[in-house]
Amino acid sequence: MKALTMNENPKPRIGVAVFVMKNGSFLMGKRKSNHGYGTWAVPGGHLEWLETPELCGEREVTEECGLKIANIRKLTFTNNIFGADKHYVTLWLMADYVSGEPQLLEPDKCEEWRWVTWDTMPRPLFFPEIMLLADGFTISI
């Protein structure tokens, strides 16, 4: 029997994205990795085995930018198909900023962090953020 390759039996991956809220604004970073290079996205990453979305969000925010967050809550999800070979379901969360200054703790993945509002989001946006907007989602502050 022939072994299956990734392209013959692909499966979607689960991403977690976090709106870290501080004084009416939220944090976005400019991506440097091949997946979405040059686009802007909120902090986030891959859901790990047996991890809750909330713990994933907290872990990713700490790993990526060194912030402490609290009051993590579920918002919505998007189904993101990046062409024929990449499919993600993104779980969107919101959290309250507690402490810390945004740091570039993964400089190979992010070149800048910026506090923005819904009306001042930089462009171009990462594909999941585009899909979130296309779904008509807005932040209620």
pLDDT of residue 121: 96
Ordered per-residue pLDDT tens for the chain, 141 residues: 344 355 577 899 999 999 999 999 999 999 998 889 999 999 999 999 999 999 999 999 999 999 999 999 999 999 999 988 899 999 999 999 999 999 999 999 999 999 999 999 999 999 999 999 999 999 876
pLDDT for the residue numbered 68: 98
Which residue has tokens 């976005």? 28
Can you tell me the distance from the alpha carbon of 133 to that of 77, in angstroms, rounded to the nearest whole number? 12
Predicted TM-score (pTM) of the model is 0.92
Give the C-alpha distances (Å, rounded to integers) separating 50 from 8, 64, 68, 91.
26, 21, 22, 15
Task: Specify the pLDDT at position 141.
Answer: 65
Q: Which fold has domain 13-134?
A: Nucleoside Triphosphate Pyrophosphohydrolase (3.90.79)
| Cα 10 from Cα 36, distance rounded (Å) | 20
Instruction: Identify the helix (H) or strand (E) that includes residue 27.
Output: strand 25-31
Contact 43, 130 (CB under 8 A): no
Q: What is the pLDDT of residue 24?
A: 95
